Amino acid sequence: MSKPRNRNKLFLVLTVSLFLHLIGLTLLGTLVFGVGTIRTTPELQAPPIPPPPPPRQFAVSLDHEATRATRSRIAVKEIEMKDIESLDFSIPVASGRVGFGGFGGDGLNIKNNMPKLSLESLFGNTESAGVELVGAFFDLKQTAARKPKEVDYGDFLRRYTSGSWSMSQLERFYQADRKLYATTLLIPHRMADQAPAAFGVASEVKPSQWLAHYEGKITPPFSGKFRFWGFADDVLIVRVNSRVVLDGSFHEGEYTDWRSSAGDLNRKHSIGNGALAVGDWINVQKGRELKIEILIGERPGGHFSTYLLVEEEGKEYPLGPDARPILPIFKMTPLLPGFEAELLTQMGQERGLMSLDGPCFARIQ
């Protein structure tokens, strides 16, 4: 009788369990169906990203200290110049420095800016850039104390040029206080009174028996040989490293014992109211400096002119109508435009006899 009861209990448990499983499966199916429905819903499109706003602009003050231009001086190093002998010179190189007018020490102190050249005078400028020929003016008719003095102009000049060219010999005469700084010595035909006027002594010196002494250092920008060609009415004498290499004075042989070795080429080509003397060849090496001294002067008064040209050995030059070489003028630095224009004007018809192009002999680095 106990077995049927046990069976009924088991049946009841199974029935309840089955019922609970059906309920659970129903709920689970509903949940799964709901999730599936959500997953099949289309995704929302994100709104387009707006373009970024333009960058913000800020006002800049031009008066701000950081934006103001500043001025500064350019420090220019002093150029060292050493005494070096020129090639093939059998004479010793002068050991002393050029002693006045801005030269001295161990080199040339070049200024920051080239001075504005005065167009009033072709004898030189009153301002120096430190690389020119320095000119001093002497009146051989007066003592240093401005007392009248009689001197044989030709005899004194011959003794001076055959000697040491000591400045003490010139300083016995009246000397202009003004120094002139010449980049070239090309002075077309003019009245001789313009020389004392240029040196500021027009009221103290009559335009006769005067002498101007120029000196400086030249550094040829090439290696090889070159020579000077020149003429003056009345005096032009060039000395390089204590040796006379050209006497282009009006009267050949009057003031020096120098004679040209150029043969028939010497005094062949006319210029001014005379003819060009041809100087000695000078052996040079690029970068090696030479001391140069140039005398110009006027003996009787009246008219005056000076022409100084250079020729490089082996260089071809255009020829003039009389087969003369068109040589460049001697110059220390490039000519400033205003000065070049004035020089061309002063040269007049003679401009076709020479060139303003050519080497510069000042040492500028």
The domain that contains 193 carries what CATH number? 2.60.120.380
Average pLDDT over residues 3-18: 59
Question: Which residue, 181, 160, 126, is CA-closest to 255?
Answer: 160
The yes-or-no verdict on residue 362 having pLDDT over 50 is yes
Task: Determine, yes or no, domain membership for 174.
Answer: yes
Task: Determine, yes or no, domain membership for 152.
Answer: yes
Angle at 360 (CA atoms; ends 91, 337), nearest 5 degrees: 150
Rounded CA-CA distance 134/292 in Å is 11
Q: Do 266 and 150 share a structural domain? A: yes
- Report yes or no: 102 and 181 within 8 Å, Cβ to Cβ: yes
Could you tell me the two tokens for 291?
């001391």
Task: Determine, yes or no, domain membership for 253.
Answer: yes
Task: Determine, yes or no, domain membership for 125.
Answer: yes
Provide the domain limits for residue 188: 79-355
The yes-or-no verdict on residue 109 having pLDDT over 90 is no
Question: Which residue, 77, 237, 249, 217, is CA-closest to 134?
Answer: 217
Question: Which residue, 236, 73, 343, is CA-closest to 357?
Answer: 343
Looking at the structure of the chain, the number of domains it has is 2
Q: What is the pLDDT of residue 75?
A: 38
Q: Do 88 and 17 share a structural domain? A: no
The yes-or-no verdict on residue 187 having pLDDT over 90 is yes
Q: Do 300 and 197 share a structural domain? A: yes
Side chain identity, residue 206: K
Task: Determine, yes or no, domain membership for 361.
Answer: no
Rounded CA-CA distance 199/176 in Å is 6
Task: Determine, yes or no, domain membership for 182.
Answer: yes
Q: What is the pLDDT of residue 272?
A: 93
Average pLDDT over residues 261-275: 96
Q: Regarding predicted confidence, which is higher, 340 or 110?
A: 340
Residue 337: pLDDT band with limits 50, 70, 90 = confident
Q: Do 104 and 4 share a structural domain? A: no
Q: Do 174 and 36 share a structural domain? A: no
Task: Determine, yes or no, domain membership for 294.
Answer: yes
The yes-or-no verdict on residue 299 having pLDDT over 60 is yes
Rounded CA-CA distance 207/343 in Å is 22
Could you tell me the two tokens for 302?
């009246």
The yes-or-no verdict on residue 119 having pLDDT over 60 is no
Residue 14: pLDDT band with limits 50, 70, 90 = low
Q: Do 90 and 187 share a structural domain? A: yes
Question: Which residue, 287, 298, 102, is CA-closest to 192?
Answer: 298
Q: Do 143 and 37 share a structural domain? A: no
Q: Do 10 and 158 share a structural domain? A: no
Q: Do 282 and 156 share a structural domain? A: yes
The yes-or-no verdict on residue 60 having pLDDT over 90 is no
Q: Do 142 and 37 share a structural domain? A: no
Q: Do 84 and 24 share a structural domain? A: no
Q: What is the pLDDT of residue 34?
A: 46
Buried b (16+ CB within 10 A) or exposed e, 318-335: eeeeeebbebbbbbbeeb
Residue 7: pLDDT band with limits 50, 70, 90 = low
Residues in the chain: 365
Task: Determine, yes or no, domain membership for 363.
Answer: no
CA atoms within a 13 Å half-sphere pointing along the CA-CB vector of 134: 19
Residue 19: pLDDT band with limits 50, 70, 90 = low
